[in-house]
Amino acid sequence: MRKVKGYRRPDGRFGIRNHVLILPCSLCASETARFAAQNVEGAVYVANQGGCSLSRRDLKVTLETLSGLAANPNVYGTILVGNGCEVVQASLLAEEIRRKTCKPLEVLVIREEGGSLHTVNHIVRSAEAMRKEADRLTLEEAPVSELILGTECGGSDPTSGLAANPVVGCCSDLVVREGGTVILSETPEMIGAERILAARCENEGVRRKLLDTIKNFEMDFLRVGENPRSGNPTPGNIAGGITTLEEKSLGCIHKAGRSMIREVVGYGELFTQKGLVVMDTPGQDVASIVGMAAAGAHAVVFTTGHGTPTGSGILPVIKLTANEETAVKMKDNMDFDCSAVLTSGKDLEEAGRELFDLVCRVACGEKTRAEELGFQDVSMARYCNFA
């Protein structure tokens, strides 16, 4: 049995990182929070571009996501920063966070503090104190069954569906076999593979929710006069060898491996089941990763053909490619090169075991490239932009 190393939180969950999070409630508090975060060693920050002028549906999603980020087990504690007049009131968000976790939480409001500079000073003092407390924790071991691993693909090319995603699929099967959790995300990539995914759902309730999730996604597009199926696969996909939509989607969903689907949740929502689970996320990589982080994912494996620098302040993003050229060209950004699957007939299962080993090492503290670079990409899903 493989072990991971991390920290047991007071709410019972286990984290593989020990972050102090500075979390702005809205875009209006974001710069103040960023300024403070830059002055505290070992603090992470979420560049929140939302949090105000929200439709009711988006308010619900935003609260779910932001509270989920604070509750993520990789986070030791959170300093919440509001401006004072935003829709996502600091008190409202604090209440949501406390519903999910009993971890350390401090709440500051810029207007009550008397402007940005006073607030920054207060955040820095509080964050440094929280950092000291966090550093006093000792590393513990936990089984892989506690691990929640997100999967993602972006900047895809023919090598993604052909090798990188199947390699992740083998790794996902190993995580599930050890009793852990794997999240399949990106609803647009499931269109065309509904029947295949539906056949893999554990029961009728899960099957119905999966099909409804995909259908609702498609309906949102149809409502604004777009059809996500038309022009898919794209001319570029077809030139690259992809013939049908099923084939394209299968290449993507292969990341999840071949386990039964145990649960389907909305964007950023917490899972109640272990094993293979599905989250409704947009195709945009960063928003998808943030949704999974809000659900408590410890790490994300991210396949890319062309290469992408994406990272997250909350969780390690492990990036892999099966494109030989990208592995060299984007060396700074790549954690795992599985191009040998295509160039020298390396066994998929073997590459999957190596990736699983890397996931376990990262879950024991080994830093990913994006962590070394300090990248903290943030984007949140939003349904209505002109509220």
Residues forming the site for other proteins (CB under 8 A): 158-159, 162-163, 166, 192-196, 211, 214-215, 218, 222, 229-230, 238, 240-241, 243-247, 250-251, 254, 258, 341-345, 347-348
- Judged by beta carbon, residue 128 or residue 247, the one nearer other proteins is 247
How far CA 199 is from CA of 45, 161, 203, 382, in Å, comes to 41, 21, 9, 30
Task: Name the residue nearer to other proteins (CB basis): 178 or 349.
Answer: 349
Distance in Å, CB of 168 to other proteins, minimum: 13
DSSP code at position 44: E
Q: Minimum distance from CB of 129 to other proteins (Å)?
A: 52
User: Nearer Cβ to other proteins, position 134 or 164?
Assistant: 164
Least distance in angstroms from the C-beta of 250 to other proteins: 4
Coil/strand/helix, residue 148 = strand
Q: How distant, in Å, are the alpha carbons of 185, 258, 334, 376, 380 from that of 373? A: 25, 34, 12, 9, 22
Q: Closest distance between other proteins and the C-beta of residue 225, in Å?
A: 12
Amino acid type, 201: C
Separation between Cα atoms, residue 288 and residue 252, nearest integer Å = 14
DSSP letter, residue 138:
P
What H or E segment, with its residue span, contains residue 372? Answer: helix 369-373
Please report how close the Cβ of residue 345 comes to other proteins at its closest, in angstroms.
4
* The three-state (H, E, C) secondary structure of 68-136, written as one string: HHHHCCCEEEEEEEECCCCCCCHHHHHHHHHHHCCCCEEEEEHHHHCCHHHHHHHHHHHHHHHHHHHHC
CB closer to other proteins out of 334 and 341: 341
- Written as six digits, the tokens of 376 are 């903290």
129 or 198: whose CB is closer to other proteins?
A: 198
User: Is 117 or 238 the residue whose CB approaches other proteins more closely?
Assistant: 238
Nearer to other proteins, 250 or 378 (CB): 250
> What stretches of the chain adopt beta strand conformation (E)?
3-8, 14-15, 19-24, 43-45, 75-82, 105-109, 140-143, 148-153, 181-184, 261-265, 275-279, 299-303, 317-321, 336-337
- Nearest distance, CB of residue 189 and other proteins, angstroms: 13
Least distance to other proteins, CB of residue 287, Å? 25
